[in-house]
Amino acid sequence: MADFATPELKAYPEIPVIAFGAMADSKPYTAKPEQQQALGFPGELIDDWQQVAIAKIGELVGKYRGLRVFLDSCVKCGACTDKCHFFLGTGDPNNMPVARQELFRSVYRRYYTFAGRHFPKLVGARDLDRGVLDQWYTYFHQCSECRRCSVFCPFGIDTAEITMAAREVLDCVGVGQKYCIEIIGKVHTIGNNLGLPGPALANTLEGLEEDVEEETGVTVRYPVDEKGAEILLIPPSADFFAEPHVDGLIGYGKVFHQAGLSWTLSSYASEAANFGLFIGNYENMRKVALRIREAALDLGVKRIVFGECGHAWRVAYCFLNTLAGPFDFLDPRYPVPQHIIEVTHDLISRGALTLDPGANDERRVTFHDSCNIARASRMGNRPGGQFILPREVIRASCNHFFDMAADTIHENTFCCGGGGGLLTDDLMELRVKGALPRMEALQEVVRRHGITHMAAICAICKTQFAKVMPYYGFDMDQIISVHQLVGDAIVLGAKQ
């Protein structure tokens, strides 16, 4: 455990006392020169960084219309101030969404508005100096791009877009964040965030097959690089080994097995995550997405299905077709892409899976809506499907399901505290404190319904909760994959 105080869980959420500068020292490690350069960014802070940064801001507000609208339309109504989990957990006023936006907006105003150019002090416009740049690095790495604040803003101003723009500017002047930059580099060269090479992946999957066979007596396959399979599954690479993720992968395999669907993983595109989103960089996001297209073509699959990963689904659902399409070589009867929850939900609805919810009777389950799925995507091609489908899959798999408080789920959900490229140990204090609102909601449902497990469909959420739950008195294994519930409930062999 680290050297900071874990916030106390209150019976009811409280707006914290303002603590100026409370998180001013929290900043992630910067990327090494070679890591930056591998992604097309300068290795370190360049001499003319100020001119380059100002020009980049101009380019971004010209290119992304939404960004300019967000920067121009805030009326400082204050509706967003107490909606960010990082403010609620830290009390640092720079973690109020409007204040975070203002770090960027004040610079934009200085160089790109008439009033800011001529009367900067009158309109709160600031020069972009080294102190401001450092402040950007600090506080734009205290935003998980979760978009909760935008739900409560009367204008829908999305701080996540401003954070992405700020990070893009930082990268372009040579000050990237190590965690994100390093991971994107690994995907470009090896195909996944972990840097797990093909042979090691094949070995891991072989071991998984043996484990499942030993446990169930049934040969469930976990194939990789099998040409001609119908489905290409793109899971987050955490699914390949870590708890509780791997139990989700076991569940996907059982679903495909039981439904008689042929499927494969790809060693070339063995990663659903796309951290290009987190750093706001289109070129890197596209390059990561293109690996999936290339793998689908190479393997000759007919469908692409994504595993349990929140931001990956956002990128896939919102952008995959424009980043890497057209996908006219796939089976037009299925959406491109599909989520594993959609596949499982459809199979359950059609009676193609036999589930015994009693197999999960020792579990009393709640569900954490992951931000990127809740606020930036859909499932099942219907409004609210991203809330309905996972819950229906859970209810079909276990007998004891209870939701957390209404203002903490669905589009109001709280971030786990580790999203948006913040899932790194150098930000542990931020991650623990940012998890506070979700932990309070969990505590309440534990008290009311004796909840034993919280299920999620996001690799980042699962990793984050496994790490931070012990800080709040929960066990790390109380976070589980939805497809673990499915996998444990599925009756293998009942249908072919």
Interacting residues with ligand SF4 (CB under 6 A): 74-80, 83-84, 86, 97-98, 100, 143-149, 153, 155, 157, 159-160, 163, 415
Using the minimum distance from each CB to ligand SF4, give the nearer residue, 77 or 115: 77
Using the minimum distance from each CB to ligand SF4, give the nearer residue, 78 or 383: 78
Using the minimum distance from each CB to ligand SF4, give the nearer residue, 270 or 463: 463
Q: How far is the CB of 154 from ligand SF4 (least distance, A)?
A: 6
Q: Please, what's the b/e burial string for 168-183 (b: 16 or more CB within 10 A of its CB; e: otherwise)?
A: bbbbbbbbbbbbbbbb
Q: How many CB atoms lie within 10 A of CB 473?
A: 11
* The residue to which tokens 């959900």 are assigned: 413
The DSSP symbol for 330 reads S
The C-alpha atoms of residue 473 and residue 484 are separated, in whole angstroms, by 23
The DSSP symbol for 47 reads T
Q: How far is the CB of 303 from ligand SF4 (least distance, A)?
A: 32
Q: How far is the CB of 419 from ligand SF4 (least distance, A)?
A: 8
70, two tokens: 């967000």
Q: How far is the CB of 181 from ligand SF4 (least distance, A)?
A: 20
The C-alpha atoms of residue 244 and residue 372 are separated, in whole angstroms, by 20
496, two tokens: 């072919």
Using the minimum distance from each CB to ligand SF4, give the nearer residue, 157 or 396: 157
Q: How far is the CB of 315 from ligand SF4 (least distance, A)?
A: 16
120, two tokens: 């900067």
127, two tokens: 């020069």
Cα-to-chain-centroid distance, residue 162: 17
Q: How many residues does the chain have?
A: 496
Q: How far is the CB of 159 from ligand SF4 (least distance, A)?
A: 4
Cis peptide before 390 (omega within 30 of 0): no
Q: How far is the CB of 85 from ligand SF4 (least distance, A)?
A: 7
Using the minimum distance from each CB to ligand SF4, give the nearer residue, 153 or 489: 153
Q: How far is the CB of 144 from ligand SF4 (least distance, A)?
A: 4
Using the minimum distance from each CB to ligand SF4, give the nearer residue, 145 or 342: 145
Q: Do residues 300 and 230 touch, judged by C-beta distance below 8 A?
A: no
Q: How are beta strands 365-367 and 303-306 bridged, if at all? A: unpaired
The C-alpha atoms of residue 241 and residue 250 are separated, in whole angstroms, by 11
Using the minimum distance from each CB to ligand SF4, give the nearer residue, 248 or 418: 418
The C-alpha atoms of residue 132 and residue 147 are separated, in whole angstroms, by 24
Using the minimum distance from each CB to ligand SF4, give the nearer residue, 155 or 402: 155
Using the minimum distance from each CB to ligand SF4, give the nearer residue, 86 or 327: 86
Q: How many CB atoms lie within 10 A of CB 128?
A: 21
Q: How far is the CB of 394 from ligand SF4 (least distance, A)?
A: 25
Q: Do residues 293 and 232 touch, judged by C-beta distance below 8 A?
A: no
Using the minimum distance from each CB to ligand SF4, give the nearer residue, 70 or 252: 70
- DSSP character string of 206-240: HHHHHHHHHHHSS-----BS-TT-SEEEE--GGGG
The C-alpha atoms of residue 119 and residue 336 are separated, in whole angstroms, by 50
Q: How far is the CB of 418 from ligand SF4 (least distance, A)?
A: 11
Q: How far is the CB of 44 from ligand SF4 (least distance, A)?
A: 27
The C-alpha atoms of residue 224 and residue 494 are separated, in whole angstroms, by 26
Using the minimum distance from each CB to ligand SF4, give the nearer residue, 149 or 229: 149
